Amino acid sequence: MSDFYHLCFVVQDISRATTDLTRVLGVEWSPVREGRLAEWDYHIVFSAGGPPFFEVIQGPAGSPWDATAGSRFDHIGYWSRDIRIDTQILQNRGAPVEFDSCPYGRSFAYHRLDSLGIRIELVDIAVQDSFLDTWLPGGSPMPPLDLDGNRT
Q: Cα separation of 75 and 71, whole Å?
A: 12
What does R_g of the chain's alpha carbons equal in angstroms?
15
Convert the pLDDT of each residue in 37-55 to its tens digit. Answer: 999 999 999 999 889 999 9
What pLDDT does 120 receive? Answer: 98
- Calculate mean pLDDT across residues 28-35: 98
- Furthest-apart CA pair in the chain: how many Å? 43
The runs of H, that is alpha helices, within 11-113 are 14-25, 83-92
pLDDT-derived band at 57, boundaries 50, 70, 90: very high
Return the half-sphere exposure (C-beta side, CA atoms, 13 A cut-off) of residue 47: 22
Convert the pLDDT of each residue in 65-120 to its tens digit. Answer: 999 999 999 999 999 999 999 999 999 999 999 999 999 999 999 999 999 999 99
pLDDT-derived band at 150, boundaries 50, 70, 90: low
What pLDDT does 73 receive? Answer: 98
Q: Cα separation of 66 and 42, whole Å?
A: 10
- Calculate mean pLDDT across residues 145-152: 72
Structural domains in the chain plus CATH codes: 6-135 (3.10.180.10)
What pLDDT does 135 receive? Answer: 96
What pLDDT does 3 receive? Answer: 85
